[in-house]
Structure 1
Amino acid sequence: MKTNTEREIFQQHEALRKTYAYLMEHEEEIKNFFNGCGCKKIVFMGCGSSYMLAKSGQRMFGAAKGVSSVAIAGGDYLMCPNFYQECVKDSLVVVLSRSGKTSEMVRALEILKEHENCIVLSITAAQPNDFSKYADLELTMDWCCDLSVCQTRTVTNFYLALSMLFCFYRQDTCTLEALRTAVRENEKFQEQNREHLCKIAEMDWNRVVVLANGLFNGIAQEGALAFTEIAMVPGCSYSMLDYRHGPIVLNDRRTLTVVLLQQKEKELQRGLLADLKKRGGFVLAVGQGTKEFWGVDALIDAGKEWNTCAAGIPFLYTIQILAYEKAVKLGMNPDQPEGLDAYILL
Structure 2
Amino acid sequence: MKEFSFSFSKEKKYLFVGCGSSYNIGFIMKEILNNNNYNSNVITGGHTILFDKIVETDIAILITRTGETTETVEAAKILKNKGIKTIGITCSKNSAITSVCDQKIELDVAYEKSVVMTGSFVFILSLLLNGLKNNDYTEISKKVLANSKKVIDNLDLENYEHFVFLGYDENYGVSKEGALKLQEMALQYVEYHEPLEYRHGPISRLTEKSLVVMNSKNLKEEKKLKEDIKKLGAKVIEVSSEGEIEIPLMNGFETPLRLIPIQYLGYKKAIQMGYNPDSPKNLSKSVKL
Normalising by structure 1, we get a TM-score of 0.78
- Counterpart of 1:213, as a letter, is Y
1:164-184 superposed Cα distances (whole Å, 9 cap, x missing partner): 1233xxxxxxxx3xx30x233
Alignment partner, residue 256 of structure 2: 313
> What is the number of residues matched between the two proteins?
289
Corresponding position: 1:92 with 2:63: no
Unmatched runs of 5 consecutive residues or more in structure 2: none
After TM superposition, the structure 1 stretch with the greater mean CA deviation from structure 2, 194-203 or 330-339, is 194-203
Deviation (angstroms), 1:129: 1.0
Percent identity over paired residues: 25
Deviation (angstroms), 1:138: 2.0
- Counterpart of 1:30, as a letter, is F
1:186-221 superposed Cα distances (whole Å, 9 cap, x missing partner): 234323432431232534010111111112211220
1:200, 1:322 within 8 Å by CA — same for their partners in 2?
A: no
Q: Residue 160 of structure 2 aligns to a residue in which SS?
A: coil
- Higher share in helix: 1
Corresponding position: 1:124 with 2:94: no
Distance in 1 of aligned mates of 2:17 and 2:166? 23
1:287-320 superposed Cα distances (whole Å, 9 cap, x missing partner): 1236xxxxxxxx0111xx3233232223111011
Name the CA shift for 1:287/1:320 in 2 (closer, same or farther; >3 Å).
Answer: same
Deviation (angstroms), 1:246: 1.6
Name the CA shift for 1:327/1:308 in 2 (closer, same or farther; >3 Å).
Answer: same
Query: Equivalences for 1:182-331 in 2 at 5 Å?
Result: 182-200=137-155, 202-263=157-218, 265=219, 267-289=220-242, 299-302=244-247, 305-331=248-274
1:146-180 superposed Cα distances (whole Å, 9 cap, x missing partner): 2111111111112212211233xxxxxxxx3xx30
Name the CA shift for 1:71/1:336 in 2 (closer, same or farther; >3 Å).
Answer: same
2:12 to 25, 40, 48: 40
Corresponding position: 1:73 with 2:44: yes
- Counterpart of 1:238, as a letter, is H
2:46, 2:72 within 8 Å by CA — same for their partners in 1?
A: yes
Distance in 1 of aligned mates of 2:129 and 2:171? 11
Q: Could you list the structure 1 runs, at least 4 aligned residues long, displaced by more than 3 angstroms after superposition.
A: none
Deviation (angstroms), 1:326: 0.8
Deviation (angstroms), 1:137: 2.9
Q: Residue 318 of structure 1 aligns to a residue in which SS?
A: helix
- Counterpart of 1:334, as a letter, is P
Alignment partner, residue 125 of structure 2: 159
Corresponding position: 1:144 with 2:110: yes
1:96, 1:124 within 8 Å by CA — same for their partners in 2?
A: yes
Corresponding position: 1:343 with 2:286: yes
2:148, 2:260 within 8 Å by CA — same for their partners in 1?
A: no
1:60 to 10, 23, 32: 32
Distance in 1 of aligned mates of 2:117 and 2:105? 18
Deviation (angstroms), 1:55: 0.8
Indicate the RMSD between aligned Cα atoms, in angstroms.
1.9
Unmatched runs of 5 consecutive residues or more in structure 1: 1-21, 168-175, 291-298
